Structure 1
């Protein structure tokens, strides 16, 4: 019989470890806490007696005042999970069968050590009752139990459980399990109840882009997106995901695949050389009002004919900013005299630059960029090129993890890496400076993961 018991337990354990888990949020769970062993259930001959003192912990339960069980489980789909429980206890209360109509006697068999290893197949009823906090369950399984040096046997287990989830991943759990011994006589191994109470922590879910949608449900796991689009972004908010949007940065109707047609000439702006003015297809959407062979988009005097080499007309001050074109470093954009005809950098522009800078991602503890950062850097470079006479400083910051000098070197390297890339994109290097400040200028607490993430940053500032 004992060899059959051991074989049964081995088969149960093997079946659990070979199960193929189905997709689920945070599929792993670990529970730990205290357990209680009650032998009264096998001492009573009648069903009503077996459970008449079910919660009589004072007289019948054996409890260690310490963490005495650990359960590790894995979700396997369709509300089922499989786990393995290891528990220890000390048997100092052993309920003896009563003689005739006499009372049940509780004796100390000698403070015998109790050890058990059990495989547990659990079925959650949480979805059935449509609750997000209360999680009742039923379970079956099998295991092997040792009491002292002389008693050991396999058991067939079953019972009920209840978990209250404080958060999505932390809960308070209770489980009561009836363990039917495979031994024929109680003296070889009594059947008994074992109760478990403790904390349960779920883990294993992955949300790479941090958008609150787990990777398994996220159609765009590397880029933060919206729940209504299965985790994919809709940057311009036109109701078309970026992957299907031919113009992801600018809102447009579905009939043009998300691209706008501002001038209504049926040529979408991205293909329209003159998106603000109706034009002809043969001129890529641009008109030639004065018929001088220079399309209006290139003709600075569309109502007056002029030579092509002079853009269709004289251009003493094309942008009307009172700075003559020969002296204007930004002749097509209105600026100020103090800034050599170029526009002053506004607070909105600086906000755009730093919104982009917040999304610059580096490899861990390195000054090399992650692949998804290059479009961000290119966008920053494009903005800087719009203000060719302005100077900017690139500042690197870290969180407080690690040594001060290492953080200083890392922030220096990262700021310099951003500057170097912008110069490679055509930004004049004499307009840029790079400095690192290590962990000296936090903008958030360094006591939380989110705060540290905020402190690891690159900032762009306008040099005065």
Structure 2
């Protein structure tokens, strides 16, 4: 008895100084073991109500206790503050107060002969811990039934009572309980009536069964990240970078960043997170993955070889080269080394005055009589024509030959064709691309003067140059 009192005092002092949360839903199993006392002051339904509990706390005179662990309870949480358990207890009845033998208030204490007591009871508990909102103070009510082995008074009982647990830690606590056991058997031991009685319990309770895989103090059933140690405020998930966003929701779990950017940093402040920003240190545009386009040519600076000068994407953001400076890029300039016009694909437009000069030259070309070979004085004229043709390397020309009316038509036609072709051959031999030149002869057709005079016939024997557009 002395040792049991010390256990109670120490447990109450520890309960008063330590608070922990006991949640049966996390640790569904519990086991309690300790000492039990059978109250020898029998609670008789026949006696006055005041007599039934008048000696409730008179442990010294009325309680039968053995100085060892004398009961064990195994309990399973069911949900909604209810739990179910089984209790096994053993005792030796050495004190019994028989209220039937004398007047109230003067009940003699008897020894029934160290009668052995064994109990097996089922218990359904309802805890008020969550109802009253505490973390360590856990009062409860219980009902149940069982069987008490007590010599000739062995019988089944209906049980009910109250209890109180003080949880020192989440899993360890002190449990105190009193149970009223009402017997259905009227059998009596000699001179003893103990079938209906009170039984008191005091023991240490241990909760277990909860699983915390990552050891962060949050049970797996409540842990959103059960395999990684985390924080309670994030339901067991970590926040590695400490930005207030749990790693499972943090797009950049290792870099501090604001919530509006899903936990990612944005060094240049352009609203594009660094991991998606091709230019994280320079403010840019979303359409260019965070890079600027300084010259506005549609090529972002990180891909623009000429970021300060507009240029096409096909040329890496640089202007196309234009060697002759005529405004037509070399890639489109059919005359890249000669200034020309856009309308003529970068080549110069043939000047009207040059066409006139070519035709003036053509009128002065002299052929040997009846032949298509040139007289020597005509060669400088042909060379002057070559120089003009070279100025327009992309222009096409047609050389036309004409004769006077002297001689037959067939002969004149053939001769005009041969002389026009002779001019073309000379031009080609002196550097003019053959693809740019064609020739045709028209004989005595289209005279420009009268064939009745020597001067007129001389004017009709001519070579004309036409620009082919």
- Alignment TM-score, normalising by the size of structure 2: 0.54
User: Cα–Cα, structure 1 residues 301 and 63, in superposed 2: closer, same or farther, change >3 Å?
Assistant: farther
- Structure 1 residues 343-354: aligned runs within 5 Å: none
* Residue in structure 2 matched with residue 104 of structure 1 by the alignment: 107
User: Which one is further off, 30-39 or 93-102?
Assistant: 93-102
CA distance in 2, matches of 1:227, 1:46: 55
CA distance in 2, matches of 1:287, 1:49: 94
* Residue in structure 1 matched with residue 133 of structure 2 by the alignment: 130
Task: Decide whether the 8 Å contact of 2:120 with 2:148 is kept in 1.
Answer: yes
User: Cα–Cα, structure 1 residues 301 and 51, in superposed 2: closer, same or farther, change >3 Å?
Assistant: same
* Residue in structure 2 matched with residue 143 of structure 1 by the alignment: 146
Query: 1:32: Cα distance to partner?
Result: 0.9
Equivalences, count: 285
Task: Decide whether the 8 Å contact of 1:153 with 1:189 is kept in 2.
Answer: no
Task: Decide whether the 8 Å contact of 1:98 with 1:105 is kept in 2.
Answer: no
Unpaired stretches in structure 2, ≥5 consecutive residues: 1-22, 310-469
Larger gyration radius, structure 1 or structure 2: 2
Query: 1:155: Cα distance to partner?
Result: 0.4
User: Which one is further off, 244-253 or 95-104?
Assistant: 95-104
Q: SS of 2:233's equivalent? A: helix
Q: SS of 2:42's equivalent? A: helix
Task: Decide whether the 8 Å contact of 2:93 with 2:117 is kept in 1.
Answer: yes
- Structure 1 residues 189-338: aligned runs within 5 Å: 190-279=195-284, 284-286=289-291
* Residue in structure 2 matched with residue 37 of structure 1 by the alignment: 38
* Residue in structure 2 matched with residue 365 of structure 1 by the alignment: none
Give RMSD over aligned pairs: 3.5
Task: Decide whether the 8 Å contact of 1:68 with 1:89 is kept in 2.
Answer: yes
* Residue in structure 2 matched with residue 342 of structure 1 by the alignment: none
Unpaired stretches in structure 1, ≥5 consecutive residues: 1-21, 305-464
Query: 1:100: Cα distance to partner?
Result: 5.5
CA distance in 2, matches of 1:95, 1:29: 35
- Structure 1 residues 166-205: aligned runs within 5 Å: 166-187=168-189, 190-205=195-210
- Deviations 1:363-403 (Å, cap 9, x if unpaired)? xxxxxxxxxxxxxxxxxxxxxxxxxxxxxxxxxxxxxxxxx
Query: 1:300: Cα distance to partner?
Result: 12
CA distance in 2, matches of 1:94, 1:138: 27
CA distance in 2, matches of 1:49, 1:225: 58
The alignment status of 1:118 with 2:148, answered yes or no, reads no
CA distance in 1, matches of 2:293, 2:162: 82
The alignment status of 1:25 with 2:26, answered yes or no, reads yes
CA distance in 2, matches of 1:100, 1:164: 40
CA distance in 1, matches of 2:306, 2:144: 87
Q: SS of 2:130's equivalent? A: coil
Query: 1:136: Cα distance to partner?
Result: 1.8
Which of 83, 86, 94 is 2:85 aligned to? 83
- Deviations 1:184-211 (Å, cap 9, x if unpaired)? 3555861011011121122222222222
CA distance in 1, matches of 2:65, 2:40: 12
User: Cα–Cα, structure 1 residues 97 and 287, in superposed 2: closer, same or farther, change >3 Å?
Assistant: closer
Query: 1:38: Cα distance to partner?
Result: 1.7
